[in-house]
A and B are shown apart, each in its own frame.
Chain A
């Protein structure tokens, strides 16, 4: 498994554990009313599990498994994939924590824009790898 896939998938696992923990806390809060402030984690819970976990895991597996070039030695435009890794994680953190810390809405919006940038960068990387077998 290439280094970038290791980073993407392990980071996805961290988001998964964090998102599940936040979800568990909110579920307990729903049952026994600990502190309603826990509901401020809702956006982070959704962002961590939907983008941080599911989307990032898919990116990691795709980077690893899609057809390679040059007789199997090259994965093509790797800088674009690394850019996607940094953008998606910056985006998840900004969009996830923006509302929890009561930051201006522009922070969450910037996070979402970063996520779009990650999708574009990943598409630039992956597009040429989607091709018929030689």
Chain B
């Protein structure tokens, strides 16, 4: 298993646990009438689960198992794939921080961080597609 796949899958596992813990907190908000401000965490919960866990697990397995790009570069541009990993996780973490902070404070600083996190996640997605596209081909 390539090093990047191990990083992607282990990071995905961390998000898996973290997102479901957040799900418990959101359920507790309803059960124990905790602060309504916690509702701002709902999109964070969903994106940590679907992007941090599901999508990142797919990325890790695809990078490992999909047909090889070439003999010299079996997994395509590895540098681009590492940049994708860094960009995706930086974007997710910044979003997880900025989205509830913006809901709580409406400070322009957090709006800027949220925009930056969107750019990071979006560019990570495009990097993944660019690196995988040519590996998806007929035998």
Q: Across the interface, do B111 and A32 meet the contact criterion of CB distance under 8 Å?
A: yes
With beta carbons under 8 angstroms apart, the residue of B50, B54, B67, B119 that contacts A24 is: B119
Given contacts A17-B126, A27-B95, A31-B102, contact A3 B138 (CB under 8 A): yes
Q: Across the interface, do B67 and A1 meet the contact criterion of CB distance under 8 Å?
A: yes
Q: Across the interface, do B121 and A20 meet the contact criterion of CB distance under 8 Å?
A: yes
Say yes or no: is A128 at the interface (Cβ < 8 Å to chain B): no
Per DSSP, chain A at the interface is helix
How big is the B interface, by class?
20 to 34
- CB proximity to A under 8 Å, residues B111-134: 111-112, 114-115, 117-119, 121-122, 125-126, 128-129, 132-133
List the B side residues contacting A31 at CB < 8 Å. 98, 102, 110-112, 114-115, 118
Say yes or no: is B71 at the interface (Cβ < 8 Å to chain A): no
Chain B proximity of A80: nearest CB distance (Å) = 20
Q: Across the interface, do A28 and B58 meet the contact criterion of CB distance under 8 Å?
A: no
- A85-B110 Cα distance, complex, nearest whole Å: 42
List the A side residues contacting B133 at CB < 8 Å. 10, 13
- A13-B126 Cα distance, complex, nearest whole Å: 9
- A30-B110 Cα distance, complex, nearest whole Å: 11
Q: Across the interface, do A20 and B115 meet the contact criterion of CB distance under 8 Å?
A: no
- A23-B137 Cα distance, complex, nearest whole Å: 28
Q: In the complex, how many residues of chain A place their beta carbon closer than 8 angstroms to a beta carbon of chain B?
A: 24
Chain A proximity of B109: nearest CB distance (Å) = 11
Say yes or no: is A122 at the interface (Cβ < 8 Å to chain B): no
Chain B proximity of A84: nearest CB distance (Å) = 18
- A49-B121 Cα distance, complex, nearest whole Å: 14
List the B side residues contacting A27 at CB < 8 Å. 95, 114-115, 117-118, 121
Binding site for B on A (CB under 8 A): 1-3, 5-6, 9-10, 13, 16-17, 20-21, 23-25, 27-28, 30-32, 49-50, 54, 57
Binding site for A on B (CB under 8 A): 50, 54-55, 58, 67, 95, 98-99, 102, 110-112, 114-115, 117-119, 121-122, 125-126, 128-129, 132-133, 136-139
9 contacts between A and B (CB under 8 A): A2-B139, A17-B126, A23-B122, A25-B118, A27-B95, A28-B114, A28-B118, A31-B112, A31-B118
